[in-house]
Amino acid sequence: MKTKSIRRSILFALALLALQTPRLLAQSLPAPLLEEAAQDCGLTLSGKVLDHDTREALPGATIYLPELDRSAITDEYGNYHFHQLCRGTYMFQVTYVGYETERFNVKLSSSSTRDLQLHSDARMLRTVEVTGEHLKAQAQTQHTLSGQELERTRGLALAETLQGIAGVTVLQTGPTISKPVIHGLHSNRVLLLNNGVRQEGQQWGAEHAPEIDPFVAAEMKVIKGAAGVRYGADAIGGVVLVEPKELPTTPGITGDLHLLGSTNNRQLATSATIEGNFEKLPPLSWRVQGTLRKAGNAKTPDYYLENTGLEEQNFSAAVGYSKEKYGAELYFSHFDTKLGILRESHIGSVQDLLYAIERGKPSRADKAEFTYDISSPYQAVQHDLLKAKGYWHLGEAGKLEFVYGWQRNLREEYELRRGSNTSPSLQLTLNTHTTEAVFEHKPLGNFSGAVGMSTIYQKNNYQYSDFLPYFTSVTAGAFATEKWKKDRLQLEAGLRYDYKHLQVKKFESDRSLIQPTYDFNNISGILGAMYDVGYHFTFGLSATSAWRAPGANELFSEGVHHSAATYEEGDPTLKSEQAYNLELSVDYFSNPRLNGALSVYHNYIRNFIYLAPQPEPILTVRGAFPAFKYTQANATLTGADLNLDYKIAEGLMLESKTSLLYARNLDTDDYLIYMPSNRFDNSLRYEFGHKGSSKLSDAYLSVGGVYVTEQKRVPENTEQDFAPAPAGYFLLQAEAGTTIRFGRQPVEVGITGNNLLNTTYREYLNKLRYFADEPGRLLMLRIRVPLNFSKS
């Protein structure tokens, strides 16, 4: 690699000199060399690597030029490129798993294309695994966080982990509670898949954080935009997939230990994983994992935020039995958290809220101190997941997979109240059983695809408060998707039908029990096209849809929502909402310097359910509350996500992410409230490579910042917010990390700094922005120790 870059930089320098200072050059360089440099180099050779018999493109094949010690790997469509070649004859050596290595001689006199054909090697297995983040499998935009990128977010809550992805923001309730927002949509419009099972907590609540331990994940994937076909109803805004690592297949016992500590809220966290595979019974493997997290009061640049600590204890265990033809896996996880909520955000009336806004900071801000203790108000949430999975490889037909999941979500909310009553103010128990069966057929000609069906059975109970009614629901759905791929074009289509039955049991104000039932059913679809233009360019166009049945809270809630200082009323006549998402994307990938992806989307939602302000306030003993009613309107969310990576020099990268969103309510001809404002995230990253001491490797340093604009797109026609959107802000961030070797034991060390300038700011999408500032400077130290208990 080094010789290549030196050679190239010499050529580049020569070219520059030739352009700018011909006289100087004429003196110092012999004439023929100059001519050659200017005219005969800079040639490009490109083409495809193909299977000789089937003419199928071979993605991931290696093309090696021994003379120049340069190599290239073909992209998803089998394309390869060599730039900056000089005139002459070259020998190319092409290797690919399952094919015989072949050599080709190419005489190059001008930039040209040449397809290279390989013969399959009968002695070898014809399987190959292609991995790489730039390879798109679907027209719809997805983003995956894994490896180092994921490691750097350890210690953050699930939603904060995903915030690094363009188009993904966070909806917060203070420092402890956060939810992912995809293209402006969140809560029950974003589907979470934990280990392949739909996460079923009380997602409808804006202050109900997802009950998933991010340490379980080896990979997190975000599908942006409506994606109802594969994952079922509700995926109006997008899908988040949290995937653990595959169970080990090689004998031995290994593990992983994380230790984290931070300043500011003095968070301490540890997570450990141990996994193994039995030498005597190779198909059997297992894993146990546990996480402990504790944090105290967070601190803004000027004061501590009282009662903003958190505690978390999670564990999971998995055992798998995997043979070539069939296999099964059993997984159990338990999540247990206690989340403190800023004391002074508990208000009783609109006047209290106005007082808080006017005061500008909590009344006890100057006296607040650090503590790990959590008192009321707080949330205590437990989530259990039991998952059983089985799969069968059905020979030439394909693969059949069955997943059953049971989840129990117990949510308790403790509020400030009179008397020595220690029971929660609200307790909800949600039990969910899900089943899914998917059959993936073996590729038939140019077609590949899957069919499947799924069921959900759900039951919600409450105690202490009937804010959310008892309900039972049954959902059943079936889907089919097919992909057709030929040469540079890939087309995909899918269809899904879902039916949902909902029975609600609710007491009327006269204490009589009513049992209304609902039936919802709808169709979701997907149409996508991807075209490979060549030259590392791919275009994608997708039209997707998803629908969502109104939730029990939207149908039946009635009462004062204290944290929002509003009176909210449900509407039992609501219909389903349906999203139609159109997305155009361009990917420019695998280039030496500049890479990027642009995605432009338009999400049209019919019967979008939102809280509409009502003209008459509701009078209570605590004063008048503005009234809101769940109402339906047509809405559009239009935006763009842009990712750009520019390699400035060897090891030095500029990474840039931009998210823009424009959301309108078409019925009231106004902006939608509480939508994320535009964000610009830029950072400069330097990787030291393997320079320097042999004890250190993979060292990197990164400095950057995120700029969030003021949200000026707020409703104009009606007064809906108690305070204007806060000003825009800029946060300086930096991080550094390396791997240190102690003998044979590697240890990964990293430090991340957030809000390094200790900027005082407030975020529009934080529900506590009326009461207090955001946390100030925070440094987080991370240590990861991979463990190997094998005897060797």
Binding string, residues 503-532; x marks residues near other proteins by CB under 8 A: --xxx---x-x-------------------
Residue whose token pair is 């969502």: 548
Q: Is 501 a binder of other proteins (CB under 8 A)?
A: no
Using CB under 8 A, pick the residue from 149, 243, 256, 352 that binds other proteins: 352
Q: Is 439 a binder of other proteins (CB under 8 A)?
A: yes
Range list of β-strands (E), 207-280: 219-224, 238-243, 252-262, 268-277
Q: Is 615 a binder of other proteins (CB under 8 A)?
A: no
Using CB under 8 A, pick the residue from 31, 122, 125, 621 that binds other proteins: 621
d(CA 144, CA 240): 10
Shortest CB 443 distance to other proteins, Å:
17
Query: Between residues 213 and 344, which has the closer beta carbon with respect to other proteins?
Result: 344
Cis peptide bond prior to 613, omega within 30° of 0: no
Q: Is 435 a binder of other proteins (CB under 8 A)?
A: yes
Query: Between residues 440 and 645, which has the closer beta carbon with respect to other proteins?
Result: 440
Q: Is 410 a binder of other proteins (CB under 8 A)?
A: no
Shortest CB 559 distance to other proteins, Å:
12
Q: Give the total of residues touching other proteins (CB under 8 A).
A: 58
Exposed/middle/buried for 728, CB within 10 Å: 0-12, 13-18, 19+? middle
Helix, strand or coil, per DSSP, at residue 32? helix
428 neighbors 468 (Cβ within 8 angstroms): yes
Shortest CB 330 distance to other proteins, Å:
14
Count CB neighbours of 538 within 10 A. 24
Q: By CB under 8 A, what part of segment 366-385 binds other proteins?
A: 367, 375-376
Helix, strand or coil, per DSSP, at residue 188? helix
Q: Is 344 a binder of other proteins (CB under 8 A)?
A: yes
Q: Is 397 a binder of other proteins (CB under 8 A)?
A: yes
Shortest CB 238 distance to other proteins, Å:
28
Total number of residues shown for the chain: 792
Binding piece for other proteins, criterion CB under 8 A, among 279-287, 430-438, 531-539, 642-650 = 430-438
d(CA 646, CA 652): 9
Cα 412–chain centre separation: 28
Q: Is 636 a binder of other proteins (CB under 8 A)?
A: no
Q: Is 419 a binder of other proteins (CB under 8 A)?
A: yes
Residue whose token pair is 């290239």: 72
For strands 566-569 and 627-649, give the pairing: parallel
What is the maximal distance between C-alpha atoms in the chain?
102
211 neighbors 194 (Cβ within 8 angstroms): no
Using CB under 8 A, pick the residue from 12, 64, 370, 457 that binds other proteins: 457
Query: Between residues 317 and 624, which has the closer beta carbon with respect to other proteins?
Result: 624
Enumerate the β-bridge partners of residue 661: 639
Per-residue DSSP letters for 472-492? EEEEEEEEEEEEEEETTEEEE
Binding piece for other proteins, criterion CB under 8 A, among 341-349, 493-501, 571-579, 602-610 = 341-349
Cα 598–chain centre separation: 17
Helix, strand or coil, per DSSP, at residue 150? helix
Q: Which of 730, 762, 765, 715 is nearest to 168 (CA)?
A: 765
Q: What is the 3-state secondary structure (H, E, C) of 342-371?
A: CHHHCCCCHHHHHHHHHHCCCCCCCCCCCC
Q: By CB under 8 A, what part of segment 289-308 binds other proteins?
A: 306
Using CB under 8 A, pick the residue from 327, 572, 623, 715 that binds other proteins: 623
Residue type, 491: L
Shortest CB 227 distance to other proteins, Å:
24
Binding piece for other proteins, criterion CB under 8 A, among 359-367, 577-585, 593-601, 708-716 = 359-367
Using CB under 8 A, pick the residue from 392, 531, 662, 729 that binds other proteins: 392
Q: Is 413 a binder of other proteins (CB under 8 A)?
A: no
Q: Is 358 a binder of other proteins (CB under 8 A)?
A: yes
d(CA 580, CA 226): 7
Query: Between residues 348 and 596, which has the closer beta carbon with respect to other proteins?
Result: 348
Helix, strand or coil, per DSSP, at residue 646? strand
Using CB under 8 A, pick the residue from 104, 278, 355, 730 that binds other proteins: 355
Binding piece for other proteins, criterion CB under 8 A, among 397-405, 646-654, 704-712, 752-760 = 397-405
561 Cβ contact list (under 8 Å, min separation 6): 567, 568
Q: Is 469 a binder of other proteins (CB under 8 A)?
A: yes
For strands 238-243 and 190-194, give the pairing: parallel
Binding piece for other proteins, criterion CB under 8 A, among 103-111, 182-190, 191-199, 399-407 = 399-407
Cα 339–chain centre separation: 23
Q: Is 404 a binder of other proteins (CB under 8 A)?
A: yes
Per-residue DSSP letters for 356-418? HHHH-S-TTTTT--------SSEEEEEEEEEEEEEEEEETTTEEEEEEEEEEEEEEEEE---S
Query: Between residues 216 and 768, which has the closer beta carbon with respect to other proteins?
Result: 768
> Which residues of the chain form contacts with other proteins (CB under 8 A)?
306, 343-344, 346-349, 351-352, 355-356, 358-359, 363-364, 367, 375-376, 390, 392, 394, 397, 400, 402, 404, 416-419, 421, 431, 433, 435, 437, 439, 455, 457, 459, 461-466, 469-470, 472, 505-507, 511, 513, 562, 619-623
